[in-house]
Amino acid sequence: MVQQFNASVQAILKASEDFDWDRIQPECVMPVLTQLVVSHRAMVSTALSIPDPNWDNTLSKLSELDGVLDRFWSIVSHLRHVVFTSAWEAAYTQALALITQYSLERSLDPKLLTVTQILAERAETHEAVNPARYATVQLMLRDFKLSGMLLPSAQQSEIKHITAQLSQLSAQISTHVLRATDATQIWVRHAHSLKGLVPDCIAQARVRAQNQKREGWCLSIEDSDYMAVMRTASERRLRRRVFQAYRTRASEHAHVAGDNGPLLVKMLQGRQKGARLLGFKTYAHQVLETRIAGGVDDVSAFLDGLAQRIDRKARSEWLDLKKFASKHLDIKRLQPWDTAYALTQFEMHTLGFDPQAYRPYFPLSAVLSGLHEIVQTVLGLRVTIEPCAAWVPGVQCWRIEDPEKGIDARCWIDLFARPGKQGGAWMDECQTRWRQSNGEVMQPVAFLTCNFMPPTGQEEAQLTHDEVLTLFHEFGHTLHHCLSEVDVPDVSGISGVAWDAVEVPSQLFECWCWTHEGLSRISRHIKTGAQLPDKMITALQQSRQFMAATGLMRQVALSQFDWQLHIQPKQWTPDAIYTLYQQVMRRYTQGPVWLKDRMPAAFTHVFSGGYAAGYYSYLFAEVMSDDAFSRFEEEGLFSQTVGRALRDTILSQGAVKPADQLFEAFRGRSPSIEALLKHRGLLDAA
């Protein structure tokens, strides 16, 4: 396909294949993408016009055509999220409109539907003959239904318009959050206001001020700064300033243009309208067509059941926290900007556990070395860091190998927060593993992105335990993507995996970070080289169960907020959305609520990140991941036998079979919530 283009386009496509990042600039995006789409459309039309379609001359051929287009778009999308500039935003906005329009065109292509229906009856796609092809065809038929393909043409057009609008709204919401985060600065004039704040955060704030040739300190509201202030700053006024700035991002109270409130309303209206056109009562009903949780009542029962089981314990924990804050912190009435700080102080008082004391034991090099050792021991993989040049200095390229299985994957690792980079942590696909018609295997490529506090001075970065968990979590996603042995891209890696099960590998990999054996491998004091002492490991393990019901209740609350938004067929307003959020938080978390809290305006997971009517997936998958890890606890934390079973039944299988069936193949039974409750000390909470 590449050979069909002019020299300049070929050069950019070659740069994307070779990861020559300097060559991929905003001004090249639209010329290249436009030619890709034009060529792709013509070649797809030719492939779908073959008189006697079979797998090799149609769907396999389309996969090869999709590979070039999907790879280029993945790179463009990634760069927009990690090097946000006005040029990249303009290029991305134009490109998103084009790729969305073309994707909708493909999803409503009657020729493709006809070919898929023909192939569904062929022996070569029967489940017993080729499970991957069977799963692909079944998913395609399902997606045709959900795209509106089976509706009359007028309604198809309406669905197409709604889908395009939702795509643009998602991008706008994300952009507003990023702009507000980058533009907000919290200035501090006096050193005493920074009391208790971790030194690295203070140093970064000083550098920001110096870069602007000003005295004092300049705090950002990037995730790393925000969490550091909320947990460690003893100055209550500073916590309040940072909290209020963070929780009003992209709202009518923000100081930066870009109010997401009206956009949230349009998003919910579009989702509900599209669901009704497709014949569903609500958007939640539509979403569950692609999940394994069951029906709407099943998800509601899952969330309600978990809440009821831990409610009494959560209330008791909150009363203890309030008593501690009143007696030891002289905070008679906890406010939202006090909660994280009070929790940290309460934990230190009760367990002797200071999260910041662990950072010297988690220098980045030690954590990476331990992570690589664990996956080598358990999964038989070799992970190396290769020399590379990337979009910014400090980005790494990891090579993940298993010659026996023919795996030779790459993962680009971008770990530190900086201006112009979207907050949070995620893994994204660049290229999915699949087998071409000539027999050659296209190896997986992934992007792993975090927002850790960057290093200061000459010392390397030192991670908190929470950041270690985040790294293991995202690498779990990466392994799910990279260890695929499936030959068909639509069901390879994480492609096609039910959204409420896609977190199972990622949350499972976090579990090693709580074990004595795992912590011994990933810790090494930055100055002495000593491993984490047993006393500190015990305190860390106890911290997992400290206020555990409160932590789970917060996840239930966020899940219920998302769920209630999408199971109620009503006309929303910004105020109604914010009111619902506050009501749900009061009901489930027991904590104080700030009346101007606009957290939903920046809740990108639900409004621009794919978790709409699906935030429950974190808890739903956590039941499975904790239960899956309990097999390692039973048979050996570093058992190669269990690791091989995990690879063979889950990590290598993509979406060839439904995720619940793959879990049962690994565990030998359906998932049980007991392991999750046991790990958090809540078995007797009811």
pLDDT at 53: 93
- For residue 118 the two structure tokens come to 């023909």
Q: What is the pLDDT of residues 627-640, one digit of tens each?
A: 999 999 999 999 99
Q: What is the pLDDT of residues 293-328, one digit of tens each?
A: 999 999 999 999 999 999 999 999 999 999 999 999
Q: Contact at 8 Å (CB) between 31 and 9?
A: yes
The band of 257, judged by pLDDT with boundaries at 50, 70 and 90, is confident
State how far the alpha carbon of 556 is from the alpha carbons of 126, 340, 551, 611, in Å: 40, 18, 9, 14
Selection from 241, 282, 317, 361 nearest residue 547 by Cα: 317
Neighbour tally for 551: CB within 10 Å: 18
Q: Contact at 8 Å (CB) between 209 and 186?
A: no
Selection from 177, 324, 357 nearest residue 249 by Cα: 177
Q: Which long-range contacts (CB under 8 A, 24 or more apart) does 416-419 make?
A: 416/450, 416/451, 416/452, 416/453, 416/454, 416/455, 416/461, 417/222, 417/223, 417/224, 417/225, 417/451, 417/452, 417/453, 417/454, 418/392, 418/454, 419/182, 419/220
pLDDT at 8: 78
Q: What is the pLDDT of residues 155-201, one digit of tens each?
A: 999 999 999 999 999 999 999 999 999 999 999 999 999 999 999 89
Indicate whether 550 pLDDT > 60: yes
Mean pLDDT, the chain, rounded, equals 95
pLDDT, mean of residues 262-267? 98
Chain-centre distance of CA 516, in angstroms? 27
Neighbour tally for 651: CB within 10 Å: 25
pLDDT at 4: 60
pLDDT at 2: 52
Q: How far apart are CA 146 and CA 162, in angstroms?
A: 13
Indicate whether 540 pLDDT > 90: yes
- For residue 94 the two structure tokens come to 């134009």
The band of 259, judged by pLDDT with boundaries at 50, 70 and 90, is very high
Indicate whether 5 pLDDT > 70: no
Single out the catalytic residue among 222, 429, 474, 510: 474
Q: What is the pLDDT of residues 83-112, one digit of tens each?
A: 989 999 999 999 999 999 999 999 999 999
pLDDT at 666: 98
Helices first, then strands: H and E counts in the chain = 26, 9
Q: Contact at 8 Å (CB) between 312 and 686?
A: yes
State how far the alpha carbon of 523 is from the alpha carbons of 297, 352, 370, 534, in Å: 44, 19, 8, 12
Is the pLDDT higher at 684 or at 495?
495
pLDDT at 13: 86
Indicate whether 428 pLDDT > 70: yes
The band of 1, judged by pLDDT with boundaries at 50, 70 and 90, is low
Active site residue 474: yes
pLDDT, mean of residues 72-86? 94
